[in-house]
Amino acid sequence: MSHNQPSPFDDPSNPFQDPSITSALNSNRQESSYHLEQDTINQHQDDFTTMLVDDSRSPPTAGGSAMRGAAHNDDLSAREEALRQKERELAAREEQLLQGRQRPASNNFPPCFPIMYLDITTEIPLNHQSTVWWLYREWLWFELTLVLNFMACLCLLFSHPESVTSAPTDLGIALTEMFTHTLASFFLWYRPVYNAYMKDVSLYYSKSLFFIFNGFHCLYTFYKAIGIPNTGGAGLILVVTLFTDKYIITGIIALLAAVSWIGMGCLAVYMYLQTYRHYKAAGHTFKEAKDDAYGRIGRSSTARDAAIGMASWNARR
């Protein structure tokens, strides 16, 4: 009974005591609590989803490391194989350039009647091409000098000065030397030094080939430049004699021959020294040349057949 009695502190004029207002306030509190709880649930779900995604992206610890290691090793192996292939290609290209394996099928030297193949730009290594070119110019200059010498001796025969009695002999020797010395100089010193620079073999530099014959060639040019009578040389002695006897035209031709002998001799000495320096710098020796010669003889079928025949003949005796 006393529960239903109004409180003395109740104020009828207080708006918060109105039942409609009180129920509206309680409804707002419940909605706020509901939204707060829903936001909390959504936040937990988002955190859980993020953890699942991170777990799915992270690779397995043991198996993944093994797979990565295998892939890395395969990649390194592929790179090493590519480098080795590149090295082989470069080595083959260098060997091809050094040895000049690519050559045309036909011979090209001499141009008038080709009997052999010569090509400095193809067969000679790049660092020696300049030297070989100058050796080739020396040989060409020698041929030109022989022609000038013959022409001087021919003019000497036709002018026939009284103080020169060796004109027929000089002309005959000059004509003979123009042909024989052309072949001899090519096969005795130019071709060996060409092969020496092409193959870098000590045998072609050795005393029995280039250095002896080219040394004689150097001495021969200065001997011809002197112009001793009855030697076939249009040299300084003949030039002085012709100008003294007032044979000006013949003297000028002889002077050109003498100057050519001297200039070509100086170039021959210079190239001889250049080749000798290269011979020493490369470490070649006469013993190496001798061993190489013995090896070539041993590999020759003709030499083996001759040795077998001689041994059979000695056994029958």
User: Quick one: DSSP state of residue 119?
Assistant: -
Q: What is the mean pLDDT of residues 113-132?
A: 88
Cβ atoms 147, 178 nearer than 8 A = yes
210-226 vs 236-244: helix crossing angle, rounded to 10: 10
Q: Which range has the worst mean pLDDT, 17-21, 65-69, 189-193, 259-263?
A: 17-21
Which range scores top for mean pLDDT: 52-66, 69-83, 91-105, 108-122?
108-122
When pLDDT is averaged across residues 235-240 and rounded to a whole number, the result is 95
Write out the two tokens for 204. 């072609």
Mean pLDDT value of segment 173-184:
95
End-to-end CA distance of the chain: 165
pTM for the complete prediction?
Answer: 0.60
Q: How far apart are CA 20 and CA 315, in angstroms?
A: 146
- List of long-range contacts for 197-203, beta carbons under 8 Å, 24+ apart: 197/124, 197/125, 197/128, 197/131, 197/132, 197/278, 198/100, 198/123, 198/124, 198/125, 199/99, 200/282, 201/292, 202/279, 202/284, 202/285, 202/286, 202/288, 202/289, 202/292, 203/289, 203/292, 203/293, 203/296
Alpha-carbon Rg for the chain in angstroms: 51
Residue 258 has pLDDT above 60, yes or no: yes
Tokens representing 114? 């080709």
Q: Tell me, what's the pLDDT at 92?
A: 74
Name residue 230's amino acid: N
Q: Is the pLDDT of residue 8 over 70?
A: no
* Closest residue by Cα to residue 159 from 229, 247, 256, 258: 247
Token code pair at residue 203: 């045998």
What pLDDT is stored for residue 111 in this prediction? 83
Q: Which residues pair with 109 in a beta bridge?
A: 116
Question: 242 with 256: CB under 8 angstroms?
Answer: no
| 204 and 210 Cβ atoms separated by less than 8 Å | yes
The distance from CA 68 to its chain's CA centroid, rounded to whole angstroms, is 42
Q: 35-64: b or e for each residue (b if 16 or more CB lie within 10 Å)? A: eeeeeeeeeeeeeeeeeeeeeeeeeeeeee
DSSP 8-state class, residue 13: T
CA–CA separation, 186 and 190 (whole Å): 5
pLDDT-derived band at 3 (thresholds 50, 70, 90) equals very low
- Take residue 220 and report the two structure tokens written for it: 């021969």
Q: Are 293 and 203 spatial neighbours (Cβ–Cβ below 8 Å)?
A: yes
